[in-house]
Amino acid sequence: MLDKLQLEERLKKQLDFAVLIDREKNIFRQTHLTGHGRAENDAEHAWHMAIMAYLLREYANEEVDIGKVMLMCLIHDIVEIEAGDTYAYDEENLKTQKAREDAAKEHIYSVLPEDQKQELIALFDEFEAYQTPESKFAHAMDNLQPLLLNDDNDGGDWERHHVTYSQVYGRQSKTKLGSEQLFGVVDEILKEHVKKGHIRNE
């Protein structure tokens, strides 16, 4: 059992972490808010994913622990406080993404008490490994959320970055690992944007 001093130290670490992760609100993504709004930040992306996961859980390919999925959604981009956001179609920065995020993961989660550090690192690693039903469904949300925003914005982010059909499908095809049904929706949206010329068809 923890004594008073240990409890105070534990609480201090937890509160320090709570303050630290506020910085996630300053990490801006390439995706823009609906209605042609400003760039979305990482915290907004994570919150939106978590709510979507809960609402859409019935479409997961397999039964999932939705609480675990939501927590994965909420923590998966905390590493970007130090590693920065890597755009999904930035081939050069994608080469160093894992190394940057692994270093950030160790540094940031070390602010927490050891048991919670290990718990959240394990959850982050599970998300990245893409093997469990929960990680596959969380990744489906990670793909679907920006796609819905971009669809609402007439494909503006795809056009801005001159994204090609093969690039978008290379990423979005993985959505079916988490949800075949939601991938059907994704496929229809992408075909429409290819037809409109928002996504380049090589």
Angle between helices 91-109 and 114-129 (to 10 degrees): 160
155-195 residue pLDDT tens: 999 999 999 989 999 889 999 999 999 999 999 999 999 99
Distances in Å between the Cα of 133 and the Cα atoms of 68, 69, 86, 130, 178 are 10, 9, 25, 8, 7
At CA 26, angle to CA 21 and CA 32, rounded to 5? Answer: 125
Question: Is residue 1 very low, low, confident or very high in pLDDT (cuts 50, 70, 90)?
Answer: low
Contact in structure between 201 and 194 (CB atoms under 8 Å):
yes
Average pLDDT of span 79-108? 84
15-57 residue pLDDT tens: 999 999 999 999 999 999 999 999 999 999 999 999 999 999 9
Would you state the structure tokens that stand for residue 194, as one six-digit string?
């290819």
Question: Is residue 89 very low, low, confident or very high in pLDDT (cuts 50, 70, 90)?
Answer: low
